[in-house]
Amino acid sequence: MTYCVGMMINRGLVFMSDTRTNAGLDNISTFRKMKVWDRPGERMLTLLSAGNLATTQAVVSELEERMKAPEEREPSLLAVPSMYQAARLVATTLKDVIDRHARAGQEADSAFRATILLGGQIEGGPPRLFLIYPEGNFIEAGEDTPYFQIGEMKYGRPILVRAYDPALSFEEAMKLLLVSFDSTIRANLTVGAPFDYHLYEADSLTAGRQGRIELDDPYFRKLTDGWSDALKQALEQLPPYDLDAAPGA
């Protein structure tokens, strides 16, 4: 499994992904699921992927091969004129890879499926964020739905729903995402640290701050403990159910 989030805030785009992949619970490894490309001053693209690792690695490899030989194999992500075209290109590549793997093997294409988040900005347009389905179609984040999750999204969703705010700073967005990731790794063994992040500053058209948070990162450990206490306190603040005033008394 996997857990990735892409989020639009006023400051720009925030991406975070876990690094655990597994083929069975007894066969886990660490792989980076975030890919960042940029041409400083012109464009920045970040891709997060969930699903079959062979599929997502093939998609990234094909996208990168096209970048290296732009004259032969147009278009490439470094040449398309808009984020919409970039999303179309990734979507087509994803669908092609899945179709090819499914035809080659005996299995239904469900085994080869993957889902991709693509966010970025290309000169002349605003920052945009897309969720790309294995069927080769996609949706775009907007004001009503300013973030996307892929993979094991349920455990970490309630805190995002409650606490997301477009005015978040990068530091606050990191905190929110780390709480969401922490809730997820506590419940699902197939999502695991370290977590990769990328903070893209709107209109910078250049890759922003990137890094990796390990499980023993001092801030993450403090956050984990602090969040348990804070949650308990938050719950304590609220009045207990009044059984005397309740229906069914």
Binding site for a second copy (CB under 8 A): 154-159, 161-163, 169-172, 174-176, 178-179, 183, 186-187, 197, 199, 209-214, 217, 219, 222-223, 226-228, 230-235, 237-243, 245-249
Q: What DSSP line would sit under 163-176, residue for residue?
A: H--TT--HHHHHHH
Nearest approach, Cβ of 193 to a second copy (angstroms)?
Answer: 12
Nearest approach, Cβ of 58 to a second copy (angstroms)?
Answer: 27
Nearest approach, Cβ of 83 to a second copy (angstroms)?
Answer: 25
Residue 87 or 200: the one with the smaller Cβ distance to a second copy is 200
Residue 96 or 201: the one with the smaller Cβ distance to a second copy is 201
Residue 39 or 157: the one with the smaller Cβ distance to a second copy is 157
Joined together, the tokens standing for residue 61 give 């490899």
Full strand arrangement of the beta sheet holding 128-132: 34-39, 43-51, 114-122, 128-132, 138-140
Structure-token match 């969040």, residue found: 227
Residue 104 or 245: the one with the smaller Cβ distance to a second copy is 245
Nearest approach, Cβ of 132 to a second copy (angstroms)?
Answer: 22
Nearest approach, Cβ of 11 to a second copy (angstroms)?
Answer: 12
Q: How far apart, in whole angstroms, are the C-alpha atoms of residue 41 and residue 150?
A: 29
Q: How far is CA 51 from CA 4, 21, 67, 156, 235, in A?
A: 11, 9, 24, 18, 36
For residues 98 and 84, the answer to whether their CB atoms sit within 8 Å is: no
Nearest approach, Cβ of 28 to a second copy (angstroms)?
Answer: 20
Helix (H, G, I), strand (E, B) or coil at 59: helix
- Whether cis (ω within 30° of 0) applies to the bond prior to 75 is yes
Write out the E strands in 92-232. Answer: 114-122, 128-132, 138-140, 147-151, 195-201, 209-213
Residue 90 or 177: the one with the smaller Cβ distance to a second copy is 177
Length of the chain: 249
Residue 24 or 247: the one with the smaller Cβ distance to a second copy is 247
